[in-house]
Chains A and B, each alone.
Chain A
């Protein structure tokens, strides 16, 4: 078994399942928001904030944000370990890979917090 500590769950199976589940949630959310915009031509701010006043829309949106976070973390981690590894950058590739993963983590974490702030802030 190959060990690692920087992927999402330490289990390939769990990461794999999470990526597929989050893809389904994201597809559903895209259909929902896309459909709403298409069905409401001339959408104004009042209507838009009315939509997001409903708790279930906020929960669904938060779920979509968390899905993006998990999905992109698995994806970016895969990219980092495919292209920023010893084969591409030699023995000290971790000095490139780890900062890259750190930047991805800070970005993903910030988006989650920012998203919650938008949804439930004033």
Chain B
């Protein structure tokens, strides 16, 4: 099978290029895209990419696979190829490339840090732990599962244009995860930090984030909830 891989080594290449590589795929198996990359690396060890758990939990190997962001380890060839003949692999779009398929995620993490992704509670600590009813816990389903792979944020044009100002779908999903938490007491301060024209309101609801999320989460819905909370608190 023909695989076209984005290559760029700033130490030796003046600019990035696409390298066509013929890979022999073992018959009768539906390999994952990560397996294909591993086969390439066996022959050409200069190819670099991030990977760790190889089962869609760590979120290291997010990349653009035939034009769609996804985790290489849980995207099967049959799913990625459809009727296409060639497998095209590029780094996640919109972030600076460090080398080959590895991108600099600093801006992505900066936005994550901005939303204060931890529980804030100014009430005295109870003897054992802060309790939460099963109903309140249920509100966090579909929010806490995010693995920060950046597939959603780097599929979002608003994040491409303003990655320094727009929090992005991943960060906003996390922001709502703490806004929705019954144990968090900083709701007002969190909302005040999001009220500017960029942080939340750059979302134009095109839902690229929803269609690429490897965990099947819905950042657009979370963003809608944040807008609703902002609206309710200000009217």
Contact = CB atoms under 8 A, between A and B. Distances in A.
B161 interface: yes
A12 B199 contact: yes
Contact of A12 (B158, B160, B200): B200
Interface string A1-43: 1111001001111011100000000000000000000000000
Is chain A's interface secondary structure helix, strand, loop, or mixed overall?
helix
A16 B201 contact: yes
Interface in B24-40: none
Contacts of B234: 13
A92 interface: no
Contacts of B161: 81-83, 85, 87-88
Contacts of A85: 161-162
B162 A12 contact: no
Contacts, number: 53
A82 B160 CA distance: 9
B201 A81 contact: no
B193 A12 contact: no
B198 interface: yes
A62 B231 CA distance: 27
A7 B195 CA distance: 13
Contacts of A12: 194-201
Interface in B182-235: 192-201, 227, 230-231, 234
B199 A1 contact: yes
B99 interface: no
B165 interface: yes
Contacts of A82: 158, 161-162
A17 B195 contact: no
Contacts of A3: 196
Contacts of A10: 196-197
Nearest to A3: B196
B195 A11 contact: yes
Interface in A59-101: 81-83, 85, 87-88
Contact of B195 (A4, A13, A81, A87): A13
Nearest to B167: A2
A1 B201 contact: no
B15 to A, nearest CB: 19
Contact of A16 (B158, B165, B193, B227): B227
A81 B201 CA distance: 13
Nearest to B94: A87
Given A81-B162, A82-B158, A85-B162, A2 B201 contact: no
A7 B197 contact: yes
Pick from B198, B230, B231 the residue with the most CB of A within 10 Å.
B198
Pick from B158, B192, B197, B230 the residue with the most CB of A within 10 Å.
B197
8 contacts: A2-B197, A4-B197, A7-B197, A10-B196, A12-B197, A12-B201, A15-B197, A15-B201
Given A1-B196, A13-B195, 9 more contacts: A1-B192, A2-B165, A2-B198, A7-B197, A12-B196, A13-B230, A15-B201, A17-B231, A81-B161
Instruction: List 7 A-B pairs, minimum CB-CB distance, nearest first.
Output: A12-B201, A12-B197, A2-B198, A82-B161, A2-B196, A2-B165, A7-B197
